[in-house]
Structure 1
Amino acid sequence: MDKILKGIMIYRATVKEGMVKQFVKIKDNPTPKAVFFTCIDSRMIPTRFTQTNVGDMFIVRNAGNLVPHSQRFPDEQDTNEPAALELGCVVNDIRHIIVCGHSDCKAINLLYKLRDPEFASKDNRRLSPLRSWLCTHAHTSIEKFNELQAHDFNKPLLFQAETPLRKFVAYIDPDKKFNIEDRLSQINTLQQLQNIASYGFLKKRLEQHQLHIHALWFDIYTGEIYYFSRAAKRFVIIDENNFKKLLQEVVVFYS
């Protein structure tokens, strides 16, 4: 706690005045550009690696960057994530939703172990809120992972996009760069796009292309960020070589 208190004192002396000015500037006209779902992992600092500022994004964090499917809740009203989607995309008319997974995710590493039916049993789940959360809301990610593993990670996966009639194909780590848990993390990140599209209160906006969903993936130990390109059917590193192509894809797909 001493580190936190000392940090607050540094904030008061260095950045408080400038930040308050930014708060005042956007007080009556905030224009956030995205709802950003990511993990609670302390290494994930999305405002830093996206270089966003006060008022730019709504950030929603939980273990494993999950957005539970609407079928898990009566009337879509029983958890934080859909409430955040409504606040961001309906109340504040934000047009972009981003789900950002990451490497070495402790929640996803545990999810990988929960493929063991005994470990994932109801008795074991009752001992751990985290196991219960993952087993309840990430089982579809495991199903897709098992499907891919059965084909030695060479088969593309099919995900629903903004509507049931729109699909996208995904090759997961075709260059075999990442470990098996990180592949599961990438699958899980894409699965959340499908889950987001399940909410009825977003249906009209998604169908009319007024709302768009994206996936990012952060490799913690290299600092590289990947964007899921529907054109390339894979996660593509965002760098000097790919930036213009990815920007053009975003303009074409999501304008």
Structure 2
Amino acid sequence: MDKLLKGIMKYRSTVRDTMVKQFLKVKDNPTPKAVFFTCIDSRMLPTRFTQTNVGDMFIIRNAGNLVPHSHCFPDEQNSNEPAALELGCVVNDIRHIIVCGHSDCKAINLLYKLRDPEFASKENRRLSPLRSWMCTHAQSSIDKFEESIPNDFNKPLLFQGETPLRKFVAYIDPDKKFSIEDRLSQINTLQQLQNIASYGFLRKKLEKHQLHIHALWFDIYTGEIYYFSRRHKRFIVIDEENFAKLFEEVIVYYS
């Protein structure tokens, strides 16, 4: 707490006045541009690495950057993630949803171990809310991951896109740069796009191309950020060499 208190005092003397001006500016006319799902990992600082400002994004964080599939919430059962989707995309008419995974994700590292049936047993899951959360809402990511094991990730995976008739394929780490757990993290990130598209209250916007879903992936130890390019069917690093072609793709696909 001493570090937090000192940080608050530094904030008061440096950036508070600037932030208050920004708060007042967006008070009566907030125009957030994205709903941003990411992990609770303390190393993930999305407003810093996207250089976004006050009022730019709704940010939702949980262990493993999961968006539970709509079939998990029948009747009156609810969860924060779909509520955030409705608040952002229906109430506030935000047009872009972003899911951002990352390397060395402790939740995903645990998910990799949960491939062991005994470790993932109901008895063991009852001992751990985190284990239960990952088993309940990330099994589809494990299923996708298992599809890639026999061919050593050399064949593409098929994901459902924004509507049942729209699909996209993905090559996962074709250059073999990342660990096996990080490959699972990338698959898990893409699986959330499919989960988001399962919500009926988003269907019309998705069908009319008034709402778009994207995937980012952050490499913790290099600081590089990757964008999933549907044109190139893989995660591509956002850098000086690739920026122009990724920017063009975003303009063509999502404008």
Q: TM-score range by the shorter chain?
A: over 0.9
Alignment check: 8 A CA contact 1:206 1:212 kept: yes
Divergent runs of 4+, >3 A: none
Partner of 1:183: 183
Counterpart AA for 1:135: C
Partner of 2:96: 96
Report % sequence identity.
85
1:153-192 to structure 2, matched below 5 A, reads: 153-192=153-192
SS at match of 1:169: strand
In 1: Cα distance, 2:5 partner to 2:93 partner: 36
1:152 Cα deviation from its structure 2 partner: 1.3
Partner of 1:56: 56
Partner of 1:216: 216
Partner of 2:84: 84
Partner of 1:139: 139
Q: Which TM-score applies when normalising by structure 2?
A: 0.99
1:195-206 to structure 2, matched below 5 A, reads: 195-206=195-206
Partner of 1:108: 108
Alignment check: 8 A CA contact 1:67 1:195 kept: yes
1:115 Cα deviation from its structure 2 partner: 0.2
Partner of 1:250: 250
Q: Which TM-score applies when normalising by structure 1?
A: 0.99
Counterpart AA for 1:11: Y
SS at match of 2:27: coil
In 2: Cα distance, 1:26 partner to 1:134 partner: 37
Query: Do structure 1's residue 10 and structure 2's residue 4 form an aligned pair?
Result: no
Aligned CA-pair RMSD:
0.7
In 2: Cα distance, 1:202 partner to 1:73 partner: 15
1:26 Cα deviation from its structure 2 partner: 0.9
1:21-36 to structure 2, matched below 5 A, reads: 21-36=21-36
SS at match of 1:236: strand
The answer for unaligned runs of 5 or more in structure 2 is none
Partner of 1:148: 148
Counterpart AA for 2:152: D
Q: String of CA shifts for 1:22-75, please: whole Å, max 9, x gaps.
A: 000111001100000000000000000000000000000000000000001114
SS at match of 1:38: strand
In 2: Cα distance, 1:145 partner to 1:192 partner: 13
Counterpart AA for 1:154: N
1:81 Cα deviation from its structure 2 partner: 0.1
SS at match of 1:209: coil
In 2: Cα distance, 1:231 partner to 1:56 partner: 27
SS at match of 2:250: helix
Counterpart AA for 1:92: N
Counterpart AA for 1:67: V
In 1: Cα distance, 2:15 partner to 2:202 partner: 37
Structure 1 residues 109 and 233: CA distance shift in structure 2, 3 A = same
Q: String of CA shifts for 1:156-196, please: whole Å, max 9, x gaps.
A: 00001100100000000000000000000000000000000
Partner of 2:70: 70
Query: Do structure 1's residue 235 and structure 2's residue 224 form an aligned pair?
Result: no
Counterpart AA for 1:40: I
Counterpart AA for 1:36: F
The answer for unaligned runs of 5 or more in structure 1 is none
